[in-house]
Chains A and B, each alone.
Chain A
Amino acid sequence: MTTSQSCPQYPRTVSNYDAIVIGAGHNGLTNAAYLAKSGLKVLVVERNPYIGGATVSRQLHENWTYSNCSYVCSLLRPEIYRSLNLAKYGLQVVPYGGSVSMHSNGDYLGGYVDADVKRREMMRHSPKDAAAYARYSRDIMRQCKIIRPFLMRTPADPTSLKPRNVLELIKLMQDVGNIPERVLHDTIRFYSLSIADYLNEYFENDFIKAAFAGSGIIGTAMGVMSPGTAYVLLHHAMGDVDGNMGAWGFARGGMGAISRAMADCLVDHGGEIKTGHGVGQIIVDNGKATGVALNNGDEFYADTIVSNLDFKRTFLDIIEEKELPSDFVKRAKNFKIRGSSGKLNIALDGLPHFPALGDDHPLMSGDMHFIDTVEQLEMAYDDWKAGQWSQNPYIDLLIPTMTDPTMAPPGKHYMSVFVQYAPPKLKGKDWTDADRDAFGQKVIDKIARYSPNFKDLILHAEVRTPREIENEVGLTEGNIFQGELSMDQLFFNRPIPGYAQYRAPIRGLYMCGSSNHPGGGVMAAPGANAAREILRDLKRENTVPAGWVDD
C-alpha cells in the first residue's frame, strides 16, 4: 500500500484487463471462470504463493497432502460443477461412509449409510428414537428442498420497489405458495430454534441428540442451545454428492483439487492468475473502482474489480474509508465474523486403533465424534464466550486416506481434525505459539482417550487456531464462513441490508466471497451469483446457470 501511495505515478507494471478478481479462493476462481467464459480478459491476484484460499491442499510434511483448511465436500453446487466442466479438469468427488460418535463409556453410535443398518443401530440405543428418525430426516429433507432453489439466485431486496426486486419477491411468494402451510410453519420453527430444542422435538436419547447436534455449530460462534443453530444444521445438510442429498465426499487429492480444477478452467478460457502478492489497495477514481495496487508496487487496471476477500477485509483494509458512505463503514465494522474453530492436520505412521470400534470397522472412513451429551457441547461454547478454548472440545475427525489413499504414502494415513471452540482472542489477548501448542495438545489428549495408540503414530501435526487461519488464509478473526450465519446476516441481510446483490457502494466494485448470499462452505454459489450480476451490469450474455432444480 505504501509503495503505491508514495509513488503512484511510477507503477512498475501497468496492464489492462476487463476484470480483476482479488483472491484465488474457490469463489474468486469460480467468479473469474464465469467471467472468462463470457469472453472477458480476467486476472486473479492471490496473496499466497499458492491458490485456493481455504480450499487448498498443501504438503507440509514430506509425502503427505493435507486438506489443511476445509476438508470435506458436499455443498459445491452441481450446476457449477457441470457448467464449468470441473470433471474435465480432474475434479473427482468421492463419497465417504457415514459417521460415528463414541461415548466415554466405550459405547458408540454408528451412522451407517445403509438405512436399515442405521435404524437397527439407533434401536440399540432407543427404539423410540429410531422411529422418530424417519420423521426427522423427512423434515430436514423438506427444508433442504425449500432452500436449495434459492442458493443460485440473487436475493431480492424487500425494502426496494425496483421492478426487479418486486418481481423476485413475487416469484418468492409464488414458490412459497406451493409449499403446504404446515411445512411453512416448520420452516419458521427451523430458522428460529436452537439445534438442541429442535432435536428435543424428535429424540429422547441424549447420546443420539449429542451425535446429531454437532452439525448445528460447526463454524459458528453459537452454542447448541443458541436459537438459530438449527439453521446451521441445514447448512450442513443441503448439499449433495452426485445427486445424493445430504451426502459428503472427499475431493480426490485433497480440497485443493477443487480450486485447481477451477483454476484450470479459468486458464483454459484465457484467464490469468498471479500469486505471491496481495492487494494493498483498491484504486478508486471519482467514485469508481479502476484497479488494484499490489503490495509489491505493481498496479493493474480494469473496469470491473471483484473482491473474494471477506466483507471486513475488503472494506476496512484495502479501501480508503473516504470512498465509502459512513453508515456503510459503521455496518462493516459491526459485521459479525467471529472465529470459533481450529484445525489439526496430522500425519500418522499407521491407522489408529479405536477400541470402541475394533479393527476394520467400516465407520473408520466416516466422521468421528467423541461426545456424550448435548450439555457437554454447550459447555464447550461457554468456554468460547469466556475467551478460552474449550476444555472439552467438539471434534469432527476424519481419516481421508481411508477413502483417498493418494494423500499419504502406502500404509500411512492423514488425519483431519476440526475443533470447536477456539476464540479469535484469548481473554482479549492474541494467541501465542505456546497457546497454540497447548490447544493442540488438549485436542490430541482428547483423541488419545478414545485411541490408546494414537499418540505413538503421530509423525507430524499442524495446529491451526483462528490466528493461523486469519494470517494464512486472510479470513478475518479466522471465521471459516466469512461471517456468521445468523438471521441478521443471511439472505437479503448478507452481508448487510441493501448490499446483498454483490455490488459494493463503489461503481465497478463487486463482492464474490462467502460473506455474501448464500454464505460459507465450499459451495461456489456466491462467486457464481456475483458473476451473473457483473455480466448483467456489463450487458453481456449470462454464462452462469440459474438454480438447477433436481428435486
Chain B
Amino acid sequence: MYDAIIIGAGHNGLVCAAYLAKAGRKVLVLEANDRVGGAAITRSFGTGFKVSAGAHLINLLDPVVIDELKLESHGLDLGQKTLKTVSLSHKGQHLVIDGDQLTGQVSDEDRSAFADYKAQMTRFSRLLNKLHLRPPPRLKPGRLSDYLDLLRVGAGLRRLGQRDMRDFLRIAGINIYDVLEEHFDNELLKGALAFDAVLGNHLGPRSNGSVLNALHRSSGRINDDNGTFASPPGGVGAVSEALAKAAVALGAKIRTGAPVEQLMFNGDTACGVRLQSGEQIEAETVVSNADPKRTFLDLVGARHLEAEFAQSIHRTRCSGNVAKLHLGLKSLPRFTELDPTLAGERLLIAPSADYLDLAFNQAKYGHCSDHPAMEITIPSVADPSLADEGHHVLSAIVQYAPYRLKGGWEHAHEPFKKTLIDQLDQYAPGLSLQVISSELLTPADIEAEFGITGGHWHHGEMTLDQAFMLRPAPGAGRYATPIDGLYLCGAGSHPGGGVMGLAGRNAAQTVLSGGKT
C-alpha cells in the first residue's frame, strides 16, 4: 500500500511526488499517457520535427522548487540566456524589449515610463510571488495560523510603502488597457504588454482582471529577473524529464500508460484508485493533478459531493481560448526587416492593445479571431536537434480560439490553420511556401490529447473569482478538498497556471501537515 497516489504526471504532479518522496512517503504517480509531463512535453510532428506541445517557454518555474529539488543536478537546463521580446510590426519597424530597455522607434518619454512601469510591476509581482509560495489565506480565520496568514498578506502590502500600496490596490482589480493608456503612447509596446495580460485566458485587454494576470505572469524569476523567458534545450519536455528524474531519485515510483478511471472510497474517505484496466491500487492519500472538473465530476463523481460544492465545481470557468500552431519549415523564416539574430527570440504579433481587443471581440461570441495575436518561437535556432539539418520548427501560441466554437471545430480546424499561416506570411513574406509540416492544436485537441477539461492551459480562468482561496472553487481552495484523503495539486489550484511547480509544492506541504479544508 502506498502513502500517496498522484493522479497525473504533469509538472505539478511530479513536483508534488518529489516533495512527498523527499519527506519519506511512499509515492506512486499514475499517468494516462505513455510519457510524463502532461502538457509540458516535447514530441514529434510531421517529418522529423520536434516541438514543445503545450507551453513552449519557461518563465514561472520557481527558483525555490529548482533549489529544493536540486533540479539542476537532475539535468534541468534553462538554456544559455533568457529571451528578448520582439513586438512585430508588419511594416518592419519592430520594437525590442530587453528587460527594462526598449529598442526601436520609441519616444524618450515611453522609454523612461517603461523603466518605471517595469520596476513597479516587478515589485508588485514579487509580492504576489510571496503569496504563491504558501497556501492561500482563509478569509475567515479559524486558527491562529489563519490569522498569521492574513497578517502576513497585510504586512507584505504595507512593506510596499504607501505610494506603491495605493497603486497596487487601485490597479490590481482592473484592466490593462486603461493602465497602459495612463503610461504609454507606443502602440507596439502597449500591444506587447497587453498580450502578456490576457495570454491563456478568456480576457481582452479591456477586461477587468487582466492586470492581475499580467502580475501573475511576471511573478516568475529566471536568474533573479522577473518577466523574462527561457527556451530550454530539448524543449519544455526536458524540464518535465528533469522533474521526473528528481522524483524517482527521491524514491517516487512513476507508472505511465495507467489511466485512472475512478477514485475508491472507504465510506466517505478516498482510499485509492481503480485504473481503466480494472486494477485497484490502495493508498492513504490521493492527490489529483487532473483539472478540477475532471477530478470531481469524473474521477470522484458528483454523487460523492455535497450539492452546493458540486455546483461550484460545475460552474468553474475553464473553456480554453488558446490554440497552438506548429510549423515544420524548410529554412529559417525571414520576418520583414527583422535582424536575423533576433529570429530565435520571443516574437509577438500583437501590434496594439486595440488589435487585441478586436481579436477578443470575436471570441466573446464564440468565433475565432480573424486577426489573432501570437507568441512565436523558433526553438530550432538555439537547439538544432529539434529539426533535420537546415530545417526549422516554428511554434506559436495563438489567441483567440474559443473551445466552444460556434459551429464546432471540426470544419473550422483547417480554415483557421490557413488563417494563421496567412497571417504569419504577412509578417514573414514567403513563410507559407517554406512549410513542410503543420499541426494545429485547438482547445478541443488539447482536451483530447492531455485530458484537460475545456482545453484550458491553466485548468481554469486566472481571474479574481477563481484565484487564491477561491481556486478552483470555495471549499477546495487550499489543496485539501471536501473529500477526506483527496487533495488537489494541479494548475486548477493556487497559484494557478504556467509551468511553476508551486501548486505541487504547496499541495505536498498541505498533505504532509495533514491539512484540512
Assess the B140–A177 pair: CB atoms within 8 A. yes
Question: Which of B162, B178, B361, B474 has a CB less than 8 Å from the CB of A185?
Answer: B474
The distance in angstroms between the C-alpha atoms of A222 and B470, with both chains bound, is 25
A492 within 8 A of B: yes
Assess the B315–A159 pair: CB atoms within 8 A. no
The distance in angstroms between the C-alpha atoms of A197 and B464, with both chains bound, is 13
Question: Which of A160, A185, A378, A497 has a CB less than 8 Å from the CB of B139?
Answer: A185
Assess the B464–A188 pair: CB atoms within 8 A. yes
The distance in angstroms between the C-alpha atoms of A222 and B174, with both chains bound, is 12
Q: Kindly specify which of B76-84, B164-172, B322-330 makes contact with the partner chain.
A: B164-172
The distance in angstroms between the C-alpha atoms of A496 and B169, with both chains bound, is 11
Please judge, given known A-B contacts A225-B364, A486-B208, whether A192 and B464 are in contact too, CB under 8 Å.
yes
Interface residues in B312-333 (C-beta closer than 8 Å to A): 315, 317
A355 within 8 A of B: no
Contacts of A488 in B (CB 8 A): 170-171, 173-174, 178
The distance in angstroms between the C-alpha atoms of A201 and B316, with both chains bound, is 9
A334 within 8 A of B: yes
Contacts of B463 in A (CB 8 A): 192, 227
Assess the A189–B170 pair: CB atoms within 8 A. no
Assess the A159–B169 pair: CB atoms within 8 A. yes
Please name 20 further chain A to chain B contacts, defined as beta carbons within 8 Å, in addition to the given A181-B139, A185-B469, A192-B463, sorted by A numbering: A159-B169, A180-B140, A181-B140, A184-B139, A185-B470, A185-B474, A191-B173, A192-B173, A192-B465, A197-B317, A227-B463, A228-B208, A228-B209, A375-B364, A379-B365, A488-B170, A488-B173, A488-B178, A492-B169, A493-B170
* A490 nearest in chain B by CB position: B173
Please judge, given known A-B contacts A225-B364, A488-B171, whether A385 and B209 are in contact too, CB under 8 Å.
no
CB distance from B198 to the nearest CB of A (A): 12
Question: Which of B138, B209, B315, B474 has a CB less than 8 Å from the CB of A201?
Answer: B315
The distance in angstroms between the C-alpha atoms of A160 and B162, with both chains bound, is 8
B207 within 8 A of A: yes
* A190 nearest in chain B by CB position: B465
The distance in angstroms between the C-alpha atoms of A22 and B200, with both chains bound, is 49
7 tightest Cβ-Cβ pairs between the two chains A and B: A487-B173, A497-B166, A192-B464, A181-B140, A185-B474, A228-B208, A227-B208
Interface residues in A169-192 (C-beta closer than 8 Å to B): 176-177, 179-182, 184-185, 188-189, 191-192
CB distance from B139 to the nearest CB of A (A): 5
A200 within 8 A of B: yes
Residues of chain A at interface, number, CB under 8 A: 39
A236 within 8 A of B: no
A243 within 8 A of B: no
B206 within 8 A of A: yes
B182 within 8 A of A: yes
The distance in angstroms between the C-alpha atoms of A236 and B109, with both chains bound, is 42
B357 within 8 A of A: yes
Interface residues in B166-206 (C-beta closer than 8 Å to A): 166-167, 169-171, 173-174, 178, 182, 203, 206
A193 within 8 A of B: yes
* B138 nearest in chain A by CB position: A181
Assess the A378–B173 pair: CB atoms within 8 A. no
A362 within 8 A of B: no
Contacts of B203 in A (CB 8 A): 227
Contacts of B464 in A (CB 8 A): 188, 191-192, 227
* B161 nearest in chain A by CB position: A159
CB distance from B456 to the nearest CB of A (A): 15
Which applies to chain A's interface (DSSP): helix, strand, loop or mixed?
helix
The distance in angstroms between the C-alpha atoms of A185 and B182, with both chains bound, is 32
A226 within 8 A of B: yes
The distance in angstroms between the C-alpha atoms of A81 and B206, with both chains bound, is 39
Interface residues in A473-527 (C-beta closer than 8 Å to B): 486-488, 492-493, 496-498
CB distance from A202 to the nearest CB of B (A): 9
Can you report 10 A-B residue pairs in the complex whose CB atoms are below 8 A from each other? Answer: A158-B169, A177-B140, A227-B203, A228-B173, A228-B208, A228-B209, A486-B174, A493-B169, A497-B166, A497-B167
CB distance from B155 to the nearest CB of A (A): 13
* B171 nearest in chain A by CB position: A488
Please judge, given known A-B contacts A185-B474, A385-B357, whether A375 and B170 are in contact too, CB under 8 Å.
no
Contacts of B166 in A (CB 8 A): 159, 497-498
Binary CB contact string for chain B from 341 to 379 against chain A (1 if under 8 A, 0 otherwise): 000000000000000010001001100000000000000
The distance in angstroms between the C-alpha atoms of A493 and B171, with both chains bound, is 10
Contacts of B209 in A (CB 8 A): 192, 227-228
Please judge, given known A-B contacts A193-B465, A492-B169, A498-B166, whether A188 and B470 are in contact too, CB under 8 Å.
yes
A336 within 8 A of B: yes
* A169 nearest in chain B by CB position: B154
Binary CB contact string for chain A from 414 to 456 against chain B (1 if under 8 A, 0 otherwise): 0000000000000000000000000000000000000000000
* B140 nearest in chain A by CB position: A181
Please judge, given known A-B contacts A227-B209, A497-B169, whether A487 and B174 are in contact too, CB under 8 Å.
yes
Contacts of B361 in A (CB 8 A): 382
The distance in angstroms between the C-alpha atoms of A185 and B317, with both chains bound, is 16
Contacts of B469 in A (CB 8 A): 185
Assess the A200–B139 pair: CB atoms within 8 A. no
CB distance from B440 to the nearest CB of A (A): 26
CB distance from B325 to the nearest CB of A (A): 26
Assess the A336–B178 pair: CB atoms within 8 A. yes
* B173 nearest in chain A by CB position: A487
